[in-house]
Amino acid sequence: MIKSKLRSYIYEPVLTKEDIQSSKKRKGARASDWRKTLGRIWKIVDEQRALLIIILLMVVISSILSLLGPYLIGKIIDDHMIKKDFTGLKSMILVLIFVYIGLSISIFLQNYWMIGIAQQTVYRMRTGLFAKFQRLPIAFFDKRQRGELMSRMTNDMDNISSTLNSTFIQVFSSVITLVGTLVVMFSMSPLLTFLTMLIIPVMFVSTRWITRRTGKLFKTQQQALGSLNGMIEETISGQRVVKAFSQEQRMIDEFANKSSDLRRVGYWANVYSGAIPKTMNLLNNTSFAIVAGVGGILALKGYVSIGTIVVFSEYARQFTRPLNDLSNQFNNVLSAIAGAERVFTIMDEKEEQDQGKGELIREIRGDVTFEDVSFQYNLEEDIATIEHINFHVKKGQTVALVGATGAGKTTIMQLLARFYDPQQGRILIDDCPIQTISRQNLRSQMAFVLQEPFLFEATVKENIRYGRLQATDDDVVNAAKKANAHNFIMSLPNGYDTVLTADGGEISQGQRQLLSIARALVANPAILLLDEATSSIDTVTELEIQEALERLMEGRTSLVIAHRLNTIRKADLILVMEKGKLIESGEREKLIAKKGVFYQMLQQSTL
């Protein structure tokens, strides 16, 4: 029973059948992918070529000094200790001391400079990845966990950094030491050199057998870690929902399952990678025993001196040590490549594209036209999100979008802001197709007030100024007064300089919404998009927000999604959506007189 449980624990598969099949399909292309990833990292590192050359020079010097040390020890034994030459012995010991001091200094300098290169490389990759996040379309983030993306920014980057810090120098040093040691050994005794090299095929076969398994495991480990981080981020962000629905135990169980997956794959990744140094040590000791035994026989027969045997034994260790180091570092490289591949996968994602450079419009009037617009989020499905939408909004008009959840109201706003582009039809602002306007220019003349306002971990003043960074303190205060937010701001401990936590947890939902409206006011937009801005607000607070919204919408083209009658009472145009189609449009009184869908919604008190 115990053996059965132990066997199921140790041999429990980490990958699903789909993962294994996918891995087999990629098996032939894996090496080329790794070479491509290493090549991309090298391009970044190579930009500091001058310092790399200096580091390489230090590596050469340290390798020569490490080879010189055993040689001097052999000379000391044969020429001074056996002959009892104390004067020469003192001089050679001083030389040996200076050799090892020089070796230590050169190793320190190469490590010191390499750390700088590694940190600069990771800095460039991390800032490049963050900048890439800012250029990716909304659709990219809709399909991925935030925590998983954060894992690529932190864990994967740290993995690359630690590998560059140690592995880069270690590989150069090991190769140079290996070649130099082989040349010196061969010049001293071809027979002993041949015996030492007998372990190389065994090392190669055993290392290849292990690394073929660790490569897949390290990649899976990074994926499991990203998935775990994604769940942690979601659970912490959604603690109110978790507790409100008493789902604590379910989240604990789900976390335990994901953590168990990470534990299993981490267990095997470290078991296999840990087997390499143990195997190398065994082979190293075996080689040393062979050299010592055969060398002792040769020394007894007078073919070589005692000093030569001592020196050769040390060189034999130095010959196998670089092989051991290379094998150990190979695991680090595999792990770093797995992380780098995940980073470069994001870097290769398609960014938001404008036609050409995009037309620059200095000031938008606010006329909005949808001409036969159709759009669907998932192109693999036949069902469109919205179909054949046509309407025209004049400058300064307020348009209300009404309909059941999933009718396509928010999609219309996202298309207008060019978070997505329609597959059919045209959207025009001031008779100009928005696809010809740069996204940044377009959005700079819009403002959003969402159902769930987002606040940054910054002061109240900075959160309001986020709408327009050039706004003065007076602009911020005036916007807050128009948004009915000034009084509650002044009641905070430090007024406008009060630092809010992420999402403004220390103030109420209504107060966060007032700050969101103040942010929109300070932006002074031509077009305003309100997505159910009062749906989660109590009736008393709604009156304050509604008054602030009326000031905000004054003179601006406004598109409003609302579920409450008060929000759309003064709308110039009402668009009734149902299952992605525009089924009714017109002024409120005319729609009521028509006694169609809008009238039925009023009768059922859904608005």
Please tell me which of 45-54, 80-89, 122-131, 277-286 the model is most confident about, judged by mean pLDDT.
Answer: 122-131
The token duo for 291 is 């050299």
This prediction has a pTM of 0.66
Query: How confident is the model over 155-171, as a mean pLDDT?
Result: 79
Looking at residue 534, its pLDDT comes to: 62
Query: How confident is the model over 137-166, as a mean pLDDT?
Result: 80
The token duo for 523 is 């932006």
Digit-coded pLDDT (tens) for 389-411: 999 999 989 898 988 888 888 88
pLDDT at 11 > cutoff 70: no
Residue carrying the six token digits 């140690």: 166
Write the DSSP assignment of 275-330 as a string of letters: HHHHHHHHHHHHHHHHHHHHHHHHHHTTSS-HHHHHHHHHHHHHHHHHHHHHHHHH
Looking at residue 605, its pLDDT comes to: 63
Looking at residue 391, its pLDDT comes to: 92
Q: Which of 532 and 581 is assigned the larger pLDDT?
A: 581
- Say what angle helices 306-347 and 157-188 make with each other, to 10 degrees: 150
Q: How far apart are CA 258 and CA 451, in angstroms?
A: 32
Percentage of the residues of the chain whose pLDDT score is greater than 90: 5
Query: How confident is the model over 110-135, as a mean pLDDT?
Result: 86
Please tell me which of 321-325, 332-336, 378-382 the model is most confident about, judged by mean pLDDT.
Answer: 332-336
Looking at residue 536, its pLDDT comes to: 56
Query: How confident is the model over 246-256, as a mean pLDDT?
Result: 81
The residues, ordered by sequence, that sit 6+ positions from 468 with a Cβ below 8 Å of its Cβ are 475, 522, 523, 524
Task: Note whether 340 and 36 are within 8 A (CB).
Answer: no
* Residue 27 pLDDT level (bands cut at 50, 70, 90): very low
pLDDT at 431 > cutoff 50: yes
Looking at residue 371, its pLDDT comes to: 92
Q: Where are the alpha helices (DSSP H) in 46-156?
A: 49-75, 86-135, 138-142, 146-151
Digit-coded pLDDT (tens) for 206-250: 767 776 777 677 778 877 887 787 778 777 767 766 776 677 788
Average pLDDT, the chain: 78
Residue type (1 letter), 404: A
Percentage of the residues of the chain whose pLDDT score is greater than 70: 84
Looking at residue 369, its pLDDT comes to: 92
Please tell me which of 310-314, 422-426, 534-538, 569-573 the model is most confident about, judged by mean pLDDT.
Answer: 422-426
Looking at residue 373, its pLDDT comes to: 92
Q: How far apart are CA 224 and CA 236, in angstroms?
A: 18
Query: How confident is the model over 409-431, as a mean pLDDT?
Result: 89
Q: Which of 530 and 15 is assigned the larger pLDDT?
A: 530
Please tell me which of 25-29, 155-159, 299-303, 488-492 the model is most confident about, judged by mean pLDDT.
Answer: 488-492
Domains of the chain: 37-347 (1.20.1560.10), 368-603 (3.40.50.300)
pLDDT at 567 > cutoff 70: no
Looking at residue 44, its pLDDT comes to: 81
pLDDT at 437 > cutoff 80: yes
Q: Which of 321 and 531 is assigned the larger pLDDT?
A: 531
pLDDT at 340 > cutoff 60: yes
pLDDT at 305 > cutoff 50: yes
Cross-strand bridge partners of residue 459: 499
Among 97, 104, 314, CA closest to 89: 97
Query: How confident is the model over 9-36, as a mean pLDDT?
Result: 42
SS3 label, residue 367: coil
* Residue 454 pLDDT level (bands cut at 50, 70, 90): confident
Looking at residue 26, its pLDDT comes to: 37
Digit-coded pLDDT (tens) for 500-542: 876 666 788 888 888 888 888 888 888 988 887 665 555 666 6
The token duo for 414 is 């996202």
386-393 and 368-375: which strand pairing? antiparallel
Looking at residue 356, its pLDDT comes to: 46
The token duo for 299 is 């020394």
Looking at residue 12, its pLDDT comes to: 35
Query: How many angstroms separate the Cα of 572 from the Cα of each of 112, 144, 414, 430, 590?
Result: 69, 39, 21, 18, 11
Write the DSSP assignment of 389-405 as a string of letters: EEEEE-TT-EEEEE-ST
Q: How far apart are CA 56 and CA 113, in angstroms?
A: 11
Q: Which of 112 and 206 is assigned the larger pLDDT?
A: 112
Looking at residue 327, its pLDDT comes to: 64
pLDDT at 2 > cutoff 60: no
